[in-house]
Amino acid sequence: AKEEGDGCHRFYEPKLATAMTEKMRLENGLYNALQTNQFSLHYQPKMNATTGQLCGIEALIRWLHPELGLVPPDKFIPLAEQAGFILEIDKWVFREACRQNKAWQDAGLQPICVSVNISGRHFFQGNLIEMIASALEDTGLPPEYVSIEITEGVFMRDMEQVIETILYLRKLGIQISMDDFGTGYSTLNQLQRLPISDVKLDRSFIQGITTDEKKSSIVRAIIELVHSMNMRVVAEGVETDDESRFCKELKCDELQGYLFSRPLPAHQFEELLAVSTAA
């Protein structure tokens, strides 16, 4: 058994070591990344499905690591959550999105609502309401121009507490979206109780929607239900003309995806916003 273990050891160690180092390098680098401005935000447009006009944007974090290059959020957000550092990241993202949006408004560009992803952790640790209120106050962005996106799973953890927090946030004047709708535990039967403005249909529902009849009838039913509660539906991850046409037929209110634009760095998005303002 010892020999076998030895064999395994020799075989696996280098790979394991590399994986560990990368994870540890990322983990250790988080704090420094915030201190030295390695994070930035990219912005992806949301389009009004009826008019085709730009109607909102989602802020998405990017990490340019000095040695590892661009690290995708799926790689470091979970680490930041485990390390408890996500509260700091959320705080930075929310402030930066508000600051940037206010700067665009002050420059005379078309006023637009920016959506910020907030980790579910923030509902159970730290002080979300205070974090948001102070960022709004310090940046001077009117609250109707920011919303937060929270994933469906958060609601299932402690529905009552989450509802209470959301009611406070709505009193501050900001909007709340349910992100990745349909992927987690089903909140369908509870949806009515949730003080949210819109649900974002996960990309997995949009993919194949044009050919998969089962999928399209499920999506149709979800959209009807959401509309009956006076909430909007945003389709995520729209990549093709066919998907876009289909989502419109199913009466989605807003569309977001590579078909319209990839998430863009601030200066590039600004050009798009200037064109939309002039139109």
Task: List residues binding ligand C2E (CB under 6 A).
Answer: 44, 60-61, 72-74, 77, 90, 93, 117, 119, 179-180, 203, 237-239, 257-258, 263
11 contact, one of Ca ion, ligand C2E, none, CB 5-8 Å limit per kind: none
Q: Which two tokens stand for residue 171?
A: 């009193």
Min dist. Cβ of residue 21 to Ca ion (A): 27
- Give whichever of 73 and 277 is closer to ligand C2E, judged by the CB atom: 73
What stretches of 126-233 show up as alpha helix (H) in DSSP? Answer: 128-139, 152-157, 159-172, 203-206, 213-228
Min dist. Cβ of residue 21 to ligand C2E (A): 23
Min dist. Cβ of residue 134 to ligand C2E (A): 18
- Give whichever of 37 and 189 is closer to ligand C2E, judged by the CB atom: 37
Query: Residue 164 in 3-state DSSP?
Result: helix
- Give whichever of 90 and 149 is closer to Ca ion, judged by the CB atom: 149
Look at the block and give the residue holding tokens 């992806």.
44
Min dist. Cβ of residue 94 to ligand C2E (A): 8
Calpha distance 97→146 (Å, rounded): 8
- The reply to whether 117 sits near Ca ion by the rule CB under 5 A is yes
Residues 6+ apart with CB under 8 A from 246: 209, 210, 216
- The reply to whether 139 sits near Ca ion by the rule CB under 5 A is no
- Give whichever of 182 and 257 is closer to ligand C2E, judged by the CB atom: 257
Of 90, 96, 149, 243, the residue at the interface with Ca ion (CB under 5 A) is 149
Query: Residue 70 in 3-state DSSP?
Result: strand
Min dist. Cβ of residue 179 to ligand C2E (A): 5
Min dist. Cβ of residue 11 to ligand C2E (A): 33
- Give whichever of 236 and 253 is closer to Ca ion, judged by the CB atom: 236
Calpha distance 88→82 (Å, rounded): 13
Q: Count residues contacting Ca ion (CB under 5 A)? A: 5
Look at the block and give the residue holding tokens 């309401």.
129
Q: Of the ranges 2-10, 99-107, 147-155, 207-215, which one interacts with Ca ion (CB under 5 A)?
A: 147-155
- Give whichever of 44 and 139 is closer to ligand C2E, judged by the CB atom: 44
| Binding residues vs Ca ion (CB under 5 A) | 117, 149, 179-180, 236
